[in-house]
Amino acid sequence: MSENFKRLAVYCGSATPADPRYIELARHVGTTLAKRGIGVVYGGGKAGLMGAVAYAALEAGGEVIGVIPQALVDMEVANSDCTQLHVVDTMHQRQQAFTDLSAGFVTLPGGVGTLDELWEAVSWAQLGYHQSPVGLLNAFGYYDGLIAFNRQMAETGFVREMHRDILIVGETLEVLLEKMANYEPIRTIVQMRAEDL
């Protein structure tokens, strides 16, 4: 069950959209994970959905681990209230830390940086660099187009049949966590022979 996750990486935007549902969603995620005893590993910022997840989890007594590049610390956007704040040099080191510190990934609505993190988690799962579940919280239909494109990649043959379900989709956090808890690791590319590729 989802309660077995010690920590989950949460990917989300650092922006604050005009529609208040997005911040409310982020707060719900932070609060719910904390109440389930699941630590939050996130981008270490204090703005937007990122900050909303972190502060809600902290307010609910949860563990919050931020991972942030030095360049963003220098811009004074780091959240110094985190349980732990890891400062790294590069975005690649940040992504590696997310993977090392977490038992899975939950992606909330966000922009280019959020999608970069999501697709890297999916790609690393496909290759075999981790075997953790990769969840996409499709609240308010925000990711409908992305889900359709993921399906198109599989139908066209750019995503192998065995890898098409790496991306786990749920419209609510509760449903998503349950699906992630039941995830069975797939046969990865590094486990294949050259002729299987």
What's the CA gap between 74 and 138, in Å, rounded?
33
CA nearest to 10, candidates 139, 124, 108: 108
- Which amino acid type is present at position 188? T
- Is pLDDT larger for residue 3 or for residue 42? 42
Phi and psi (nearest 5°) for 134? -115, 110
Domains of the chain: 2-196 (3.40.50.450)
The answer, yes or no, to whether residue 2 has pLDDT greater than 90, is: no
pLDDT in tens, 36-86: 999 999 999 999 999 999 999 999 999 999 999 999 999 989 999 999 999
CA nearest to 56, candidates 30, 18, 92, 83: 30
pLDDT confidence tier of residue 187, bands split at 50, 70 and 90 = low
Helices and strands in the chain: count of H runs, count of E runs: 7, 7
- The pTM for the full model equals 0.92
Matching residue, tokens 């939950």: 106
pLDDT, mean of residues 12-17? 96
The reported pLDDT for the residue numbered 69 is: 95
The reported pLDDT for the residue numbered 191 is: 59
pLDDT confidence tier of residue 190, bands split at 50, 70 and 90 = low
What is the pLDDT of the chain when averaged over all its residues? 92
Angle at 42 between CA 39 and CA 46, to 5 degrees: 115
Matching residue, tokens 């922006």: 15
